[in-house]
Structure 1
């Protein structure tokens, strides 16, 4: 209802107020509050210079009509009646997050309601699956925690939950069973919002640990990415050429990773109607069988990283030899030794900075081996492509110097110097047991292994792949490998920002349901970052902004912002059509945005 007059009578006087309805964010019920105290009848008669109560009522109604008109134009001033003696209500929430609304808006744009309605019609359950997914995904971004904590945290959202905690746990089984239907529909619906780039699909695996000691039928001991001694489940992810998650695959912690790629690839081809694509993965995942699998397909192809150190002696010498290097679009060849002391090079009359160039060389090689995919021997003709980048060489040198710096510090504390992992600083430390005369003894001496460093330096700047693509596709091959880091970043976001692990669910279907929610949260975040914000901000900046977008409840229908107004906040307001940085925000203004958030109306995609 709109603002209205209210009067209260006492023995000697009559007082007037303007009241309005409001939605109590804690009780979730409608109530009324005093917008403005107008005064008693005597003071109002003095104000309007009359002795007639009817004239006072006439003037008050004119004033009320004026306020209602301003309300309809959304220009009304807000008057607060507060006393410093008043206390806030005990055990009532006063801080509410609105960052979740941007997440929910993207979900609604992706048609999550229709997807859930179709699933609900199939299962005939009574709870609101769309509401559960909306809350779980939003809370995974804003308040990542266990399902119980998530359920409690949703009280800080303005949308009223219409389900019970038990429904959340029930829904995980449904999510597990409907994983690829949901992912397929999210892909299909997002394709209607913007053109998808599936020419190259990137695949990689990670794993998530559980804080338990004993493995079971699903959570198995395996090689943990965090080197933790806990049971794990493994997780494979396909990402498109724009860095957006496409589909995922969950499997036991002790299973072979390579097989998972073929199985998920078949699902993508069958369910997502994506049949022509190049698979890009590292050598550990895209081994012989996967190469043959993709080479045999009519519209399939692969790009696989090839560690130069693991090449044959002849191929290794060819890969790092300074002669025969090319630049795309340039007919000549270069010798890297001739460029060693130069900062720029002139190419067809244009000076180019060498650090910005990527040189390459390639050659074709044949291999014949047995293959399960082909059912016998198979001959694979592969294009070996090696690139050299001075910028990449500087990066590798920088990383090595950092590790050496830590290694030198470790020499002063040689308690734990047994690691041989190449990523660990102890990799560069060697030891010898000698006496002062050089004889073998019990005394152990630790030192920096200069030979190992010199051997590594030979490969700085070089990067190799193998592929069954033709030479005409060199541009695609080189550009494709520049994006491989993004799938690692997706895993990092899942682990650090979305807090996917450790997991607090135990059953197989609950684990799968939980990981699907994390997948959807990752997809929505990536869409926000890339398609809505045009990659203008870092991951940390976006997550921190959404989590800090809080409003403090004052009274009645009024809230005030409790966050810092930044460029990101203004950009969100521009894209989503909701400006939260007003000095005071009314429930009416919030409800306007809520109606947009909970509809299919899309925001301004970049």
Structure 2
């Protein structure tokens, strides 16, 4: 019977050997190595166990079937068949095993398989793939990417090669290939009849503007040069298209170019575009409609008095929780004849593209929960306005403060109008009611949180900003990497049900160890706990 033997040597180390009983005595078949620490002992025992259990390890000749067994510690005796610590040249050859490195190659392999399953290996550039995976695991600068890849068990390309890869990604139209793969995946996973659009800004740690990086509107009130980035995703938040614009370009002017680019790339005719109220411009909606595209765009609450004029006249400002009003809204603020509902008619008009050429369909919904939230916000704004009027707080003029001849007073009329509209949310569309009921319009719009989540992922988990690139090609290449990393991250979240940071946090500590022993190096895979194995199983799902 073959077994694993641990022997205490004269130097105090523990020798790990594979032995068998022959003729009533122990015969040493192989000396695995000598351990000086508990960690080294565990590694040697693991290696001995693999030698016993894996016939591919070769080299062990037993007269009986090997049965793993670990013998008790014994002291060396003169009648041992083999000197456990020989003083010959064999001692120098065997020596004690030592750890020469550990890495998270298991994590890299998992991410690489997800990357390939999405069809991104069509790019056929390992350096590009490594840059994408590195950004998912630990977003950092290009100079520091080599450290991350080394920790993932990869031999990183040189910094110069990485920079050349950025250039290749533009010359080789990598983004086109990635976008085509994303489209195919989204089609196979569901449908792209409805797509969501939003914009964000990415700023630069730079002082001077250029043709692309310009100071523009920033929600964070930054004064750094920036670019405007538009992102198109499917209803589940999976990225489909990305575009980059000058930093001072109005957000409303980015929608149509991105949609047309997406439409031309894939030869699409009928899709529904969903965007927030920031995209609500007469030009945008007209161009989308002229292109034969359907849209659902958030409306501004300030349009409610015009759209709901008939309702307010006949029913007052009392609403029921969940109440939905399907009506029409003027295409422009000046269209009053057939562009708005008639307050003399009690019934709300049913929008028809042929009969209402100067209006769009508008859906308004009331939520009691939203009304409570809106009232709370208005109360805070009212108190701030009163503090400014009374002189208790010196600040720039807030909402509901009216200045007349240098004197400030509370704008009671504006406050009353705002109170009247709490709880209302509007949606503008060119989809007839017979094709999409009002509640489906609302549900489709509320899917916008998926694109907002994708932007949050790109800005936090993938750290798309700030950027340190200077040329347009390098900036576009950076966005291609972020776009690809976002697609892989969204797929990982869809398969595992966990946030990408959670997945990385659980899988990265599963480290493989490379051991130098007996003149060779061998890599041992980590033990995988049950919870982490469940994640791996979920990610292997095609």
* TM-score normalized with structure 1 length: 0.64
2 CA distance for matches of 1:410 and 1:76? Answer: 82
Instruction: State whether structure 2 residue 276 is matched by structure 1 residue 282.
Output: yes
CA distance in 1, matches of 2:227, 2:493: 28
Q: Supply the distance in 2 between the matched residues of 1:416 and 1:99 (Cα, whole angstroms).
A: 54
In the other structure, the counterpart of 2:204 is 210
| 1:494 matches 2:458 | yes
Shift of 1:295: 1.4
Q: Deviations over 1:33-85 (max 9, x none)?
A: x996339xxxx89x75578xxx9477999xx9996461259997999x9xxxx
Q: CA RMSD in A?
A: 4.6
1:553 aligns with 2:521: no
Residue deviations 1:221-252 (CA, integer Å, cap 9, x gap)? 11123211100011011111222111000111
Q: Which residue of the other structure, out of 120, 123, 130, is the alignment partner of 1:116?
A: 123
Which of 185, 190, 211 is the aligned partner of 1:190?
A: 185
The whole-number CA distance in structure 1 between the counterparts of 2:373 and 2:498 is: 23
Give unmatched runs, 5+ long, in structure 2: 5-9, 33-46, 58-66, 74-95, 335-355, 517-522
Aligned length: 458
Tell me the distance in 2 between the aligned counterparts of 1:256 and 1:507: 22
C-alpha displacement of 1:506: 1.1
SS state at 2:256 partner? helix
Q: Alpha-carbon deviation of 1:431? A: 9.4
- For the pair 1:541 / 2:502, whether they are aligned, the reply is yes
Who is 1:469 aligned against? 431
SS at match of 2:178: helix
Aligned residue for 2:170, secondary structure, equals helix
Query: Which SS does the other structure have where 2:365 is aligned?
Result: strand
Aligned to 2:17: 38
Alpha carbons 2:297, 2:445 under 8 Å: kept: no
Alignment match of 1:389 (pick from 364, 367, 376): 367
- The SS at the match of 1:147 is coil
Provide the C-alpha distance between the structure 2 equivalents of 1:174 and 1:59, rounded to a whole number of angstroms: 52
1:319 Cα deviation from its structure 2 partner: 6.7
The structure with the larger Rg is 2
Q: Deviations over 1:363-420 (max 9, x none)?
A: 23564899xxxxxxx9444111111122333444566678889999999997872274
Aligned residues of 2:15 and 2:31 also touching (Cα < 8 A): no
1:59 and 1:544, CA in 2 relative to 1: closer, same or farther beyond 3 A?
A: closer
Which of 210, 221, 224 lines up with 2:215 in the alignment? 221
Tell me if structure 1 keeps the 8 A contact 2:365–2:426. Answer: yes
Task: Find out whether 1:508 has 2:472 as its counterpart.
Answer: yes
Partner of 1:471, secondary structure, is coil
What's 1:348 paired with? none
SS at 2:467 equivalent: coil
What's 2:537 paired with?
A: 574
Compute the displacement of 1:212 (Å): 1.0
**Secondary structure of the residue that 2:201 maps to in structure 1?**
strand
Q: What is the aligned partner in structure 2 of residue 588 from structure 1?
A: none
Question: TM-score if structure 2 supplies the norm length?
Answer: 0.70
Tell me if structure 2 keeps the 8 A contact 1:365–1:383: yes
Alpha-carbon separation, structure 1, partners of 2:503 and 2:381? 30
Q: Distance in 2 between matches of 1:141 and 1:322?
A: 56
The unaligned stretches of length 5 or more in structure 1 are 6-14, 16-33, 118-128, 325-334, 340-353, 371-377, 421-426, 434-438, 577-602
1:95–1:78 Cα change, 3 Å? farther
Aligned to 1:293: 287
Matched, 1:70 2:43: no
Contact 1:295 1:468 in 2 (8 A): yes
Distance 1:88 1:203, change over 3 A: same
In structure 2, distance between residues paired with 1:160 and 1:399: 54
The match for 2:541 is 604
Alignment map for 1:7-86 (pairs within 5 Å) = 37-38=16-17, 48=22, 56=27, 68=51, 70-71=53-54
